[in-house]
Amino acid sequence: MERFEIVGGQKLYGEVGISGAKNSVLPLIAASILSEGKTHIRNCPKIYDVEVMTEIIKSLGGKAYFDGNTLILDTADLNGSELPEKLTGQIRASLFTVGPLLTRFGKAAMCLPGGCNIGKRPIDIHVAALREIGVGVTYGEYTTFRRYELEGKRVVLRFPSVGATENLMMASVKSRGITYIVNCAKEPEIIDLQNYLNLIGAKISGAGTDVITVEGVEKLYSAEVEFTPSPDRIEAGTFIFLGAACGGELEFSVPSLRNSLFIAKIVGNNACKIIQKDDKIYILKFIRPKKGFGKIVTAPYPGFPTDLQPQLVACASVADGMTVVEDSVFPERFGYVKELKKTGADLSVYANACVAVGRKTIAGACMSAADLRGGAAMVIAALAAEGKSIVGGIGHIDRGYDRIDEKLRKIGAKVARIEI
């Protein structure tokens, strides 16, 4: 078991290295099942969820190994379509292998997937969409999927589910005719998946809009492909809220962040100034938030991301005013608040919202993470607090952040990873 020992109160300065997006590389690893060749995923974060996904690829007969920061996947000899429960039950992304297994082998079988402890994680949207295109599903604790002749269809998702959009894209690449995925998710990670699938011979367009079009093809290529996923906007956002909470000056080379909604929230609140260094790099010069962030409601992309909701609350704990954060995507995603309150933060949870009344100072405390982004919020609070904090349960943080303590020390944070 490990924990972070943190001493707060420092301003933070320096360049933040951002890894490839976790929520891009996980579906990309699943998508590599469709390629009967080698896939190189560059700038791939070395995180626990990637490790589990590579174990799934190996359990199906494939090879997966890192060469530096590049993950190499060889799925030429894949020979199975049943997923081992001890792996699928650990992460949500195991579910994203169903689409590619159906396309390649005509069937898939798995126990219900795991995932962060942030509320209910049903799979009904996935099941309904797959049935719509002709997949037979026996839905239960152990769920089996079988592909009959897949017809291209117009499928309307009842909610723009990220995973269901990705599963349907991969399940329909060889359908007869054209499949339209309407009310699909529009996250940048969906565009990454479209670009990778087209690299191996699929014909997909529309990712990033409300309708994705998948034109069925006879065959995919089995060439060796290299792919660089987008930088992780949620990791970058985590460091931006950290900077706003602690003060200082952080440098990012993530151009796509420039126009993101949460940057606008931070800049709008006068919590930072953006200094353009050149076309790629810019510096955020932080001053403690002048006022609270007002009311923010999370929403599917391009709305405010639910995956930054806990980090915003941690930052709002030391703003000079009130912030109300409502999570419309995962209404129960506030389990971390009781831990943050140990720092003296003035936080109250009502139904699917948290009210934060900012304080000039909060105090170090002993906290324990129970999910990935809630754990990140505890690290932010500990670094903004006066004095020493302990953050336990950091295995949850390591699921989605690649050596976050090393990146934090590089910008002057006092964080030690202690074996207990």
Q: Is 68 in the site for ligand EPZ (CB under 6 A)?
A: no
216 CB-side CA count, 13 A: 17
Count of positions on this chain that bind ligand EPZ (CB under 6 A): 26
Q: Does 93 bind ligand EPZ (CB under 6 A)?
A: yes
In three-state secondary structure terms, 298 is strand
Name the residues annotated as catalytic: 116
What is the rounded (10 degree) CA torsion for 209, 298, 53, 68?
A: 90
CB-nearest residue to ligand EPZ: 163
Can residue 122 be called a binding residue for ligand EPZ (CB under 6 A)?
Answer: yes
Amino acid letter, residue 52: V
Site for ligand EPZ in 248-287 (CB under 6 A): none
Minimum CB–partner distance for residue 300 and ligand EPZ (Å): 7
Work out whether 184 is an interface residue with ligand EPZ (CB under 6 A).
no
Q: Whole-number minimum distance, CB 376 to ligand EPZ, in Å?
A: 9
Interface pattern 386-405 for ligand EPZ (x via CB under 6 A): --------------x-----
Nearer to ligand EPZ, 36 or 307 (CB): 307
Q: Does 372 participate in binding ligand EPZ (rule CB under 6 A)?
A: yes
User: What are the start-end ranges of the H helices in 43-187?
Assistant: 48-59, 85-88, 98-105, 124-132, 162-171
Neighbours of 205 (CB within 10 A): 12
| Contact predicate 152/176, CB 8 Å | yes
92 binds ligand EPZ (CB under 6 A): yes
Q: Shortest approach of ligand EPZ to residue 335 CB, angstroms?
A: 13
Q: Which is nearer to ligand EPZ, 90 or 269 (CB)?
A: 90
**Counting contacts by CB under 6 A, is residue 125 touching ligand EPZ?**
yes
Distances from the Cα of 199 to the Cα of 10, 22, 142, 385, angstroms: 46, 20, 33, 47
CB of 9 to ligand EPZ, least distance (A): 28
∠ CA(164), CA(165), CA(171), 5° rounding?
Answer: 85
Measure the CA angle with vertex 305, ends 303 and 308; round to 5°.
Answer: 145
Which 321-350 positions form the footprint of ligand EPZ (CB under 6 A)?
Answer: 329-330
Angle between helices 309-316 and 233-246 (to 10 degrees): 0
Helices (H), 89-218: 98-105, 124-132, 162-171, 188-199
Nearest to 96 by CA among 33, 25, 163: 163
Q: Which is nearer to ligand EPZ, 31 or 365 (CB)?
A: 31
Residue 120 binds to ligand EPZ (criterion: CB under 6 A): yes
Phi, psi values for residue 56, rounded to 5° = -65, -45
**Which of 18, 21, 23, 145 lies at the binding interface for ligand EPZ (CB under 6 A)?**
23
Task: Give the nearest distance from C-beta 205 to ligand EPZ in angstroms.
Answer: 21
The contact set with ligand EPZ (CB under 6 A) reads: 22-23, 26, 92-93, 116, 120-126, 159, 161-164, 185, 306-307, 329-330, 372-373, 400
